[in-house]
Structure 1
Amino acid sequence: MKVVKKAVICGGHLTPAIAVMECLLADGWQLHYFGRLYSLSGEKIPSLESVTVSKYQAQFIPFSAGKLPRHFTWRILPELLKIPIGFLTALIQLNKIRPGIIISFGGFLALPVSYAGKILGIPVVTHEQTAVMGLANRLIGRFARLTYLSYEATGKVPASAKVKVTGMPMRSSIVAANNTKFNRESLPMLFITGGSQGSHSINRLIYPIIRLLLNDFRIILQCGESNEGQDFRLLVKLKNSLPAKISSRFRIVKTIDIDETGSIFRDAAVVVGRSGANTVAELCYFRKKAVLIPLPWSAEMEQRENARFLEKAGMAIVLDQNKATPESLKAAIYRAAKSHLPEYSENSLQLKFDPCAKKLVNILGQILN
């Protein structure tokens, strides 16, 4: 009788998790994904993970947990109360599922699931996507069977952690991506993204200069549901007011289908966006020029460090959100478009790639055997 291999996947970064899911599902694994049901607290907008995971043969388990407080604010008590609740929920769910392994991708959701797994005797592995290990992974890494790394010289790795550099898992749709079919004019394509949830700050900066940019670029703008959807409505109104030829160069979407991301990155001449781990990896993988506006309040200034990493490599112009203006953003976009990328290799960047997550999954099999 064939033994069904079961795994629980949890954590902050969806894109590499999907790459691993695709590889495991192809090998006949039964998967359970612990994630947020809604993207923002207090709003009923389905999260990207709940929408995306439902497309695969994997069970999505709605899960919430408190964030470890870094500063004292009025939110500290509700967040602290969520931590034991999340842990107990994870304990109950894992006891029902009884997976052979837990695969964490860091972040506050992975912490209670990983600790509950440790208590139940379930092996835990975790993957770090950034150049500096986050707090959750530093804690999980102390007892995980293995911590996978994306960078050769990842910072803040616990001395007791068992590590292996396998690289950033890249989805099959990224590896096999062709250029997008959006408006095949000879103009270069500008991709503007605020990340999976969009960014009101980026939308606000780009809105006044869109008409001008459309003279020289085709534009795909992923605006999200930010500002209660008002940004999307304003942008659609602007698009509809443009002459037909100019309007055809402008595509507005709330979210980008995860399978289309690779095609858009491959076609883009310049990318404007945040500097999260996935964006940085995709920029490096496709060797694209970027204008980056790091999220000011990202954990441990992660996005600022990511942006500096690309800036030092000569791949990005970095703007401070608190100082950026529409004019400075416009100038940065044109400067990036005219610049030439330096010659570099995967080794010189120290960021490794794991196409279709094959390295990670192969080592996973060795851990379980």
Structure 2
Amino acid sequence: MTAPHNIGTAENPILLAAGGTGGHVFPAEALAAELLRRGHRVGLVTDTRGQGFGQNLPELPLYRIPAGTPSGRSAVGKLMSIVEIGHGVVSALTLLGLTRPVAVVGFGGYPALPLLLAAKLRKIPIVVHEQNAVLGRVNRLVARFAARIATSFPATHFLPEQAVVTVTGNPVRPAILAAADVPYTAPDQSLRVLILGGSQGARVLSDSVPAALASLPPEMKKRLRIVQQCRAEDLDRVRAAYTVAGIQAETATFFSDVAQRLAVAHLVVSRSGASSTAEIAVIGRPSLLVPYAHAMDDHQTANAQALAHAGGAEVIAQDKFTPERVAMAFNDLLADPAQLADMAAHARSVGRPLAAQALADLVERVATEHRRAAANAQSAAQDHSVKRTAA
């Protein structure tokens, strides 16, 4: 266990545990920022491999404890992972003894598991936050003994029957909140389409979208303004396809200003990870969603369907995302500005821009209950001691 700072014992902190992926890290950092704004002490916990957690909050202590990931490994690998998790639990117990937190918040991912198991052993209240419409594997393991479960979607699969659930939404980045102030404007002379494939890009989008757009009527192609994220190995062929089709397009492997580009888009084509769907809904933009076919427990399909049921998105499964099917969808959507505007309004109606505040409220309630219970127990113990002495 390592920590660059000692958060001290002047006030008991709240510890946040998350894996190294952006889907876990973004909401954890958003909650940390909100708790700091309210005057709480906060510590961040991840495993020894996570590199991204805490970079946006360098003033906070970051604790690293061992953790293993048994999923997708051989029998020997699974056994080694269990040993690593056990080692992590021992380290986490030491950390909890030193910091004495009033609550622990888990955001999923195996790096969070040792701290959550240790918190259970130490009888420290646990809040679980689930970003997807399907409870993740680690969150599923600890949900049955969590004090509260915070969900991003009203309907979340695999919740325990007796769970105490609060729908908070999924906290998004400050840039997204700022972009949410930009109202949706229906297409006029140009049709701006933003195509995002997740953190690693998505080859299926590079394979099908340029071909689909190339088959649209000439007058529509002239109005298109495309911005597309691609894998590095796909950039040249995607650019060439748009050039041959006479479509104005900007392509890159990464866009640092996604929030601003979302704000001016008339239509978004995207994977349906937790952060992507939350950001699309908060800003309020119509979308064509392509769930990643191999996502754990098919959670991206559940995320996409939640937005589609609200009327804010159309969903096409990856195995059906052919140029012909995509061209039909584009033709229907881009030719109907009123439908796009309706979808934008429906998407915004299920967005939760105050998710970080709602989650912080929930964590504060749990922490307050824990402090009160601890104070009552201490008072009762003192009363009992006084009575024994008097006797």
Name the TM-score, length of structure 2 as normaliser: 0.72
CA distance in 2, matches of 1:62, 1:335: 50
Pair 353,85 (structure 1): closer, same or farther in 2 beyond 3 Å = same
Unmatched tracts of structure 1, length 5 or more: 39-49
Partner residue of 1:19? 30
* 2:200 aligned residue (191, 197, 201): 197
1:134 aligns with 2:142: no
CA distance in 2, matches of 1:192, 1:36: 34
CA distance in 2, matches of 1:325, 1:60: 45
Contact 2:67 2:88 in 1 (8 A): no
CA distance in 2, matches of 1:143, 1:54: 30
**Rg bigger for which structure?**
2
Contact 2:291 2:301 in 1 (8 A): yes
CA distance in 2, matches of 1:62, 1:337: 48
Contact 2:66 2:87 in 1 (8 A): no
CA distance in 2, matches of 1:283, 1:153: 18
How much does 1:147 deviate? 0.9
How much does 1:280 deviate? 2.2
Partner residue of 1:88? 87
Pair 80,230 (structure 1): closer, same or farther in 2 beyond 3 Å = farther
Partner residue of 2:377? none
Pair 252,334 (structure 1): closer, same or farther in 2 beyond 3 Å = farther
Which amino acid letter does the alignment assign opposite residue 304 of structure 1?
Answer: T
How much does 1:144 deviate? 1.4
1:216 aligns with 2:223: yes
How much does 1:33 deviate? 4.2
Contact 2:12 2:99 in 1 (8 A): no
CA distance in 2, matches of 1:209, 1:119: 55
Which amino acid letter does the alignment assign opposite residue 353 of structure 1?
Answer: R
RMSD of the TM alignment (CA)?
A: 3.8
How much does 1:343 deviate? 7.3
Percent identity at matched positions? 27
CA distance in 1, matches of 2:175, 2:348: 25
Question: How many residues are paired up?
Answer: 339
Pair 159,265 (structure 1): closer, same or farther in 2 beyond 3 Å = same
1:30 aligns with 2:42: yes
SS in structure 2 of the partner of residue 271 of structure 1? strand
How much does 1:127 deviate? 1.0
CA distance in 2, matches of 1:163, 1:122: 18
Which amino acid letter does the alignment assign opposite residue 250 of structure 1?
Answer: E
Name the TM-score, length of structure 1 as normaliser: 0.76
Partner residue of 1:41? none
Pair 282,218 (structure 1): closer, same or farther in 2 beyond 3 Å = same
Partner residue of 1:363? 362
1:335 aligns with 2:347: no
Deviations 1:152-202 (A, max 9, x none): 34333212322223233233332222669xxxx952321111112222332
How much does 1:112 deviate? 3.2
Partner residue of 1:321? 318
Pair 321,186 (structure 1): closer, same or farther in 2 beyond 3 Å = same
| Structure with a larger share of its residues in helix | 2
Which amino acid letter does the alignment assign opposite residue 229 of structure 2?
Answer: Q
